[in-house]
Structure 1
Amino acid sequence: MRNQLFRRLSAAALIAVSGLALAGSATGQSATYTPPQHTTGFPGLVGGENQAEVAASLALGPELERDRSPKWLLDDQRKLDKSLAALGPQKPGQVDAYVVVVGLDSDPIFGREAREAGKVLSRRYNAVGHTIVLAGTEGSGPSALPNGSPRNLAVALARVAELMDKQQDVVVLYTAGHGAKVGLAYHDGDDGFGIIPPERMARLFDELGIKNRLLILSACFSGIFVPTLSNENTALFTAASADRTSFGCQSDKDWTFYGDAMINHAMREPVPLAKAGEDARTLVAQWEAMGANMGIIPSQPQIAIGSKVDTWLKPLEARMPRTATPMVGRPAITIFTDAPK
């Protein structure tokens, strides 16, 4: 099952079947740099004699690094240390947002989406000095950022938890990558593999005491996180329902459908969070309808906003910029014009 979920499909099949593809040409793509390639199937991360054992192992969030160069490991640790050191303390007397963005796949589309999401969310929530982006290449050369791995995400959240006022501040988390019916997928070339299931993500927040959360999960099947992560202090937005794929994840594109709709369109506008989520959901539905004759099945993005979210959201939105920023990259819907005839 896992190999079927993670095998790489042709562009046409990706549009018609798995649908997580982005629009537009690869911005900043270098003719001399080749991003890490997925040349092998997704390996088995769990063993067991029965499905219960497999499910129990997956719930722990397995991660596998294969034959990493020690120089690469040291370099990535130094990048992470530098990024963590740049995070500033919270400001007493006000609700602060800490933005954490992770691109969990080495395909350049996710590196581009993660970087721009970091900029948009940092501006929207006045989080300059409170933002960390973990991601692989954006296509032009090796990444200058810490790798977007489950381990680095956990470490980044732990550092944020040390700096924030947990009673009033909020973590804004954006994830970009592929997903499966068991969780978010980590896939870095042929070297890094893993799963972040809902249970693992919930334990991270609970152990660190991070209760105020704005979570935007851009991946196929990301609706599986709704039952586990929804609570009165959390605003949760997912690119798809628990049993649906999302669209636009071709490596050479600029945006996934949901990333374009939620980040490149809705979150740039000075509108309340709930409206941004609804606007993004409407845009995604309109775009998917354009591909209905190609076999695209609506992804059904999910929204769950807790009853106490306003306690931290209203102060943040009171300081939100009142002007929009221009969109970047080629629109996600150019995937239709770029598709093979």
Structure 2
Amino acid sequence: MRWAGKVARTASLLVASLAVTASATGQSATSYKAPEHVGGWPGLVSGSNETEAQASIDLGPELERDRSPKWLLDEQRKLDKALAALTPQKPGMVDAYVVVVGLDSDPIFGREAREAGKVLSRRYNAVGHTIVLAGTNGDGPSALPNGSPHNLAVALARVAELMDKKQDVLVLYTAGHGAKVGLAYHDADDGFGIIPPARMARMFDELGIKNRLLILSACFSGIFVPTLASDTTALFTAASADRTSFGCQSDRDWTFYGDAMINNALRQPVPLATAGANAQALIAKWEGMKSDLLPSQPQVSIGSKVSTWLTPLEARMPKTATPMVGRPAISIFEQ
């Protein structure tokens, strides 16, 4: 077929962009051996021409393979337990529902996701309104539901059932690798998938979630800005649409963006816009320490009506900062 070569190039672009962002495998100091990425990505893109190939990506392809029945049952129980722990919104009050997903089994993303859940839950008074989906933090098998596109969709659906969609807010943090077509899901050699901008937008539209604080930590995550930006959305991305972000080695505690945005900026009792600007400045400083790093150019988009939900949330924000945890992302420069 005359389009076969172009479709193949679309698929190879997906694999290549993921390969660029793939992290080095590191091991925890414990005897536990974290899952590793050994094999390559399976074909997730279909179609006989470029238009069909892009359409297949926009559907959000996901593949789980060789999952044991016991694993599937255990995973279902973990997800059910986490969903059951979410509580209804409080009438007359703007509530935040925090959803954090670590989309890769490399332990750095499990560590970052867990701490992001703590920081965002505290900042936005979301106790009982927080769910974290993530793999191992390197210490042992994860007790959390897996950070997969499927589990993310289910968690968002449950949040949509519980929240008052006219006033409450979704706070979503994603941690993982990215490609020029979307966020990458990669669980060892068993789970694969892509969450493209079109798929994420459809989920929000179907669920009626309009008030959104979205923080996307991945390479090329700026591709989400044109699709997800709205007057009631605050959107922060780790990189522009054509740039990588840094610090995703498996044995680290933080990516550059996670350290700057979560571990530094959002721990402080400052407005959201200030936190975003502080994170951008910190990342620019860190990247400037190495002449061979092409700046990641984190993106910020804050809609004109965000203040309707952000002002009451920030009025109840804790007045004191919390201490940073883990090894700083730039400690990688010391290696």
Q: Could you tell me how far apart the structure 2 residues matched to 1:141 and 1:18 are?
A: 25
One-letter code of the match for 1:196? I
2:306 paired residue number: 309
Q: Could you tell me how far apart the structure 1 residues matched to 2:254 and 2:30 are?
A: 20
Matching of residue 5 in structure 1 with residue 7 in structure 2 = no
Q: Contact 1:96/1:170 (CA < 8 Å) preserved in 2?
A: yes
Matching of residue 330 in structure 1 with residue 327 in structure 2 = yes
One-letter code of the match for 1:195? I
Q: Contact 2:231/2:302 (CA < 8 Å) preserved in 1?
A: yes
How does 1:44-123 map onto structure 2 within 5 Å? 44-123=43-122
One-letter code of the match for 1:262? M
Q: Could you tell me how far apart the structure 2 residues matched to 1:51 and 1:260 are?
A: 38
Q: Could you tell me how far apart the structure 2 residues matched to 1:190 and 1:21 are?
A: 15
Matched residue of 1:290: which SS?
coil
Matching of residue 221 in structure 1 with residue 220 in structure 2 = yes
Q: Could you tell me how far apart the structure 2 residues matched to 1:106 and 1:118 are?
A: 17
Matching of residue 155 in structure 1 with residue 167 in structure 2 = no
User: How much does 1:5 deviate?
Assistant: 2.2
The 3 A distance-change label for structure 1 pair 54 and 36 is: same
Matched residue of 1:334: which SS?
helix
1:238 paired residue number: 237
Q: Contact 1:21/1:255 (CA < 8 Å) preserved in 2?
A: no
Residues 226-254 of structure 1, C-alpha deviations (whole Å, 9 max, x = no match): 00000000000000000000000000000
One-letter code of the match for 1:312? W
Q: Could you tell me how far apart the structure 1 residues matched to 2:191 and 2:24 are?
A: 21
Q: Which runs of 5+ in 1 are unaligned?
A: 8-16
Matched residue of 1:333: which SS?
helix
One-letter code of the match for 2:64? E
Q: Contact 2:21/2:177 (CA < 8 Å) preserved in 1?
A: no
Q: Contact 2:185/2:194 (CA < 8 Å) preserved in 1?
A: yes
How does 1:281-296 map onto structure 2 within 5 Å? 281-292=280-291, 295-296=292-293
- Structure-2-length-normalised TM-score: 0.94
Matched residue of 1:186: which SS?
strand
Matched residue of 1:101: which SS?
strand
Q: Contact 1:219/1:238 (CA < 8 Å) preserved in 2?
A: yes
RMSD between aligned residues:
1.5
Q: Contact 1:20/1:245 (CA < 8 Å) preserved in 2?
A: no
User: How much does 1:30 deviate?
Assistant: 4.7
User: How much does 1:21 deviate?
Assistant: 8.6
Residues 240-298 of structure 1, C-alpha deviations (whole Å, 9 max, x = no match): 00000000000000000000000000000000000000000000000000012xx2100
Q: Could you tell me how far apart the structure 1 residues matched to 2:22 and 2:333 are?
A: 12
Q: Could you tell me how far apart the structure 1 residues matched to 2:40 and 2:22 are?
A: 19
Q: Could you tell me how far apart the structure 2 residues matched to 1:283 and 1:19 are?
A: 23
Matched residue of 1:327: which SS?
coil
Q: Contact 1:6/1:42 (CA < 8 Å) preserved in 2?
A: no
Q: Contact 2:23/2:249 (CA < 8 Å) preserved in 1?
A: yes
Q: Contact 2:14/2:181 (CA < 8 Å) preserved in 1?
A: no
Q: Could you tell me how far apart the structure 1 residues matched to 2:148 and 2:21 are?
A: 23
Residues 135-163 of structure 1, C-alpha deviations (whole Å, 9 max, x = no match): 00000100000000000000000000000
Q: In the comparison of the two structures, how many residue pairs are matched?
A: 323
The 3 A distance-change label for structure 1 pair 221 and 20 is: farther
One-letter code of the match for 2:136? T
- Structure-1-length-normalised TM-score: 0.93
Q: Contact 2:22/2:177 (CA < 8 Å) preserved in 1?
A: no
Matched residue of 2:329: which SS?
coil
User: How much does 1:91 deviate?
Assistant: 0.5
Q: Could you tell me how far apart the structure 2 residues matched to 1:138 and 1:168 are?
A: 34
1:13 paired residue number: none
Q: Which runs of 5+ in 2 are unaligned?
A: 1-12
2:141 paired residue number: 142
One-letter code of the match for 2:141? P
